[in-house]
Amino acid sequence: MANILNIGTELNKIISNYTEMSKNTKEKKVEHKHEKTTQQENIETNIDQKNIEAEVIEKKEEPKKEKSDKEKFEELNDKYLRLAAEYDNYRKRTIKEKTELIKSAGENILISILPVIDDFDRALLHLDQAKDIDAVKEGFYLIYNKFSDFLKQRGIREIVAKEKDFNTDEHEAITKIPAPSEELKGKIVDVVQKGYYLNEKVIRFSKVVIGE
């Protein structure tokens, strides 16, 4: 009887040990499986990352596609048309500005002449009623001097010609006459029409008579 009890006790120990071993084996398998899954995920992640990096490198290293002749022509033609349009606008704007400048300059000159015209009107109005001829002469001289000052302020000055040497850059010979004296031979003895400078430019030649 004692032997049977001992056998039963030993059998229970064996069963208990086997159960414990089975449990530990299952836990290890689960842990191993979990580790294997994690490792596999890491490997897949690394592969995906490498694939992405490879695609980026491939895109960076991909050479630029060269433009076709047609595309190059269209691009150059577009630049030419834009440049031509800009130049045309600049030309039109410049012409308009010059035209306005000429108009305004002419307007200013005419406005400045008007006071001289007013003086002439007043002188002519009193001319028939004037009894003192010297006063009339003085009035006309004042108007003449006023107008001469106006011309000088605008850069216009008379070309002095009488008794000067003939100069084709300033004078235009109308005719020749015998010189009244030896000193006037080859020189200007009379001025038919005065010449004028505008600043340093001759705007009208003096029409002169030369002595010979």
Instruction: Decide the pairing of beta strands 171-177 and 206-211.
Output: parallel
pLDDT tens-digit map of 103-132? 777 777 888 889 888 988 888 888 877 788
Q: State which of 16-25, 30-39, 71-80 shows the largest mean pLDDT.
A: 71-80
| Whether pTM exceeds 0.75 | no
CATH class label, 157-212 = mainly beta
> The tokens of 130 are what?
């004037």
Query: Angle formed by the axes of helices 133-153 and 69-127, to 10°?
Result: 170
In angstroms, the CA 210 to CA 196 distance is: 19
Query: What are the sequence ranges of the domains in the chain?
Result: 72-154, 157-212
CATH class label, 72-154 = alpha beta
